[in-house]
Structure 1
């Protein structure tokens, strides 16, 4: 079976989908008119119309008669891949009203066994632990803990500071070490929040179900740079995948 080039309107929709999910375009932002979009992408106006119609059908856009077309309020947290896209486009990993509070940055002499496995560390090897709470406005949307080999403490000392790293920790490690992040793997499970995560997320009940995403970033030698655990409260995470049924 030969692969087919995506229709122009789908490519336009895909571009805006990526910009919305990465946080570059936020809820309430106005998108170009059909006429402006046709000029920007050098396509016919009906093609631009189909692109906007597809995004409205998917729930990414909403139209207000007499006012224009705007980004819908998705009310979701950004996936790691979306934040990386944002960092590459804008040089910072958070956008809009998002901000992160670093609540721990330390060397742990004996990290949990699953962390050591995730970082491919020998037993009884120290690791850097960096824990943060992410806010969107006044709402806590994510609690995450990033783990790194303690060997990075010397070349990347800011990992042990509670100061935010605007471009993201992986970009900082790349800059300081020359290693290149090639790909990442995400594993998703659900569990009860537990006492610590419930406190950090502002949940009243520690038995509230939350989503756990284990996120591992690998370098060009297929060796882990970062192993992270992110906890999301109910209703604050989305993962979408588009695929052919033909």
Structure 2
């Protein structure tokens, strides 16, 4: 409580009231020996998936699975070059997937489409990234195993957008239907980008985050109008 009040510059009573409201709405929960944490609900974002993979070896929640639709070396598009901190047009690894949920009647409903981008140098160090087969330990664990680069931090940004032709085909939605677009950066312990990701989610998906409130202001939630600054500019590879 003291840390929360200090971080946000509010009185202890205000912090206590805010937490009470969040508990009532089921957004946070008290964990003995840990503190107050954001309640984990529904599907997870990139950061939560990374923690889940490192902690349990599982990548997706029960009832969901992914189909790898592309695994190839391609010239880096401009936005990907910026996201990874490489030269535009240089070779990068593109690994695309669609995630499905299996319903009780056996039908498969597409939940999200995402693309992971990696520097081309990983093609030799981690060749399975160029195969469409599932990587058992997940891409994070595989890259750490093959290169020694440990993922330690994730930044993820989400914004409301409109479906384009690809999303119309994958999700079966009308042109211009609302969807959620995301970008995420996975950083190693040197502060360099391991993976730059782009994702599209159905608007009925829930993205949840879990973090400690007793470790300072490690998470930031903000809203801002376009145009937005480049969040990865400070993470160009050294």
TM-score where L is the length of structure 1: 0.66
RMSD: 2.9
- For 1:241 and 1:179, how far apart are their aligned partners in 2? 24
2:130 corresponds in structure 1 to 160
- For 2:117 and 2:179, how far apart are their aligned partners in 1? 20
Q: Which has the larger radius of gyration?
A: 1
Match for residue 191 of structure 2 among 222, 228, 235: 222
Change (3 A) 1:204 1:224: same
Change (3 A) 1:144 1:122: same
Q: Report if the CA contact (8 A) 1:106-1:128 is conserved.
A: yes
- For 1:145 and 1:231, how far apart are their aligned partners in 2? 9
Shift of 1:167: 2.5
* Partner SS state of residue 114, structure 2: strand
Match for residue 171 of structure 1 among 128, 141, 162: 141
Shift of 1:57: 5.1
- For 2:130 and 2:209, how far apart are their aligned partners in 1? 34
Pair 1:122 & 2:87 matched:
yes
Residues 213-237 of structure 1: CA deviation (Å, up to 9, x unaligned): 1000111221110000111011113
Runs of 4+ residues over 2 Å off in structure 1? 1-4, 54-57, 237-244
Within a 5 Å distance, the mapping from 1:182-201 to structure 2 comes to: 182-200=152-170
Which stretches in structure 1 are left out of the alignment for 5+ residues?
Answer: 5-53, 62-73
- For 1:221 and 1:89, how far apart are their aligned partners in 2? 21
TM-score where L is the length of structure 2: 0.68
Match for residue 232 of structure 1 among 187, 192, 201: 201
Give the paired residue count: 182
Larger RCO, structure (CA 8 Å, separation 6 or more): 2
